[in-house]
Amino acid sequence: MRIAIMGAGGIGSCYGGLLARAGNDVTLIARGAHLQALKQNGLQLNCPDESFTVQVPATDDPSEIGPVDLVLFTVKTNQNSDAIPVMKPLIGNDTTVLTLQNGVESAGEIGQDYGVDRVLPGAAYIVAYVVSPGEVTQHNPEVRIAFGESGGALSPRAISIRDTLSEASITADLSDDIAKVIWSKFLFNAPVNAMASAARTPPRQLMETPEGSASFRTAMQEVANIGQAKGVHLGEAAIDNAMDFIGTVSITARGSMLTDLDAGRPLELEATVGSVCRIGRQVNVPTPINNLLYALLLPYKDGPPGES
């Protein structure tokens, strides 16, 4: 399969490296020092059970690639206004865009430019970072993607993508209710990242206090409430499952938003807790905890306050 990885940072490079090693025609779309290292030395991927280097084409210009069968869209959401139009040369008559971004609005946003029928919503379950230019470390033992057609059909294209991912040692869960899958991740990802960032404290450490645990649960309930109002029924165990998951992560694990905050980088604020607040207003469901978290983090959305 001819595949472009739009946004080949840690997560995108990991998926791309595995797909390339399995024999697919993959191109990584990256930038900066990481791009230069990929061009010169290939991609070094450090997995829990092995490390390997794969020679994979890389560029910062999608027009050098042309139309592909599949675009894995792994760009940070705060870069969408630039990245979505830039990927136009990748889009042909039969191209599918599988979006693996945080939040619940990515597929609709891409669909505004390229048509909703072209886009498959998905969720990435992986911890991977660029540890040095051209070198990516995957921290979790399983590399997983959940995705599906918005209408729930097990379409031929979705089955083909699932098989391609599986052949590359990527666990591919083809869901007939992808909205529930994405909202279940959102239930955890949005409030937990925001609360940890506002407190400048890893989530597990916050949950060790009764106050922190109760606040996590309340913030998650707000997300569940707006999901319910949107017709997405997450089930009674969703919050308990999310709380249990926090208890399994490392006591020092900081999460992507807190890591970006510490590094002075722009935050994925609008697609996470900002989206909770915005959708809450749309469906007339109160989200006071998430509103407060959003207000506390808003000055840092584009980087440290006062810096251009």
Tokens of 186: 């959102």
Q: Stretch 232-244: mean pLDDT, rounded?
A: 93
For residue range 88-103, what is the model confidence (pLDDT) as tens digits?
A: 999 999 999 999 999 9
Q: How far is residue 288's CA from residue 277's CA, in Å, rounded to a whole number? A: 8
Q: How far is residue 293's CA from residue 198's CA, in Å, rounded to a whole number? A: 7
Q: What length does the chain have?
A: 308
Using alpha carbons, select from 73, 117, 109 the residue that is nearest to residue 271. Answer: 109
Tokens of 96: 């599918």
Q: Which residue has the higher pLDDT, 61 or 307?
A: 61
Burial class from Cβ neighbours inside 10 Å (0-12, 13-18, 19+) for residue 251 reads exposed
Q: Which residue has the higher pLDDT, 248 or 149?
A: 149
For residue range 138-165, what is the model confidence (pLDDT) as tens digits?
A: 988 889 999 999 999 999 999 999 999 9
Do 121 and 107 form a contact (C-beta atoms < 8 A)?
Answer: yes
- Report pLDDT for 308: 53
- Report pLDDT for 140: 83
Coil, strand or helix: which one is 243? helix
Instruction: Provide the greatest CA pair distance for the chain.
Output: 54
Model confidence at 307, pLDDT cuts 50, 70, 90, reads low
Q: Which residue has the higher pLDDT, 254 or 286?
A: 286
Sketch out the chain's domains with CATH numbers.
Answer: 2-176 (3.40.50.720), 179-300 (1.10.1040.10)
Count of CB atoms situated within 10 Å of the CB of 213: 15
Q: How far is residue 217's CA from residue 277's CA, in Å, rounded to a whole number? A: 16
pTM of the predicted structure, to 2 decimals: 0.94
State which H helix or E strand residue 227 sits in: helix 210-229
Model confidence at 172, pLDDT cuts 50, 70, 90, reads very high
Using alpha carbons, select from 28, 37, 15 the residue that is nearest to residue 128. Answer: 15
Phi, psi of 125 (to 5 degrees): -125, 90
Q: Is the pLDDT of residue 247 over 90?
A: no
Q: How far is residue 223's CA from residue 4's CA, in Å, rounded to a whole number? A: 33
- Report pLDDT for 127: 86
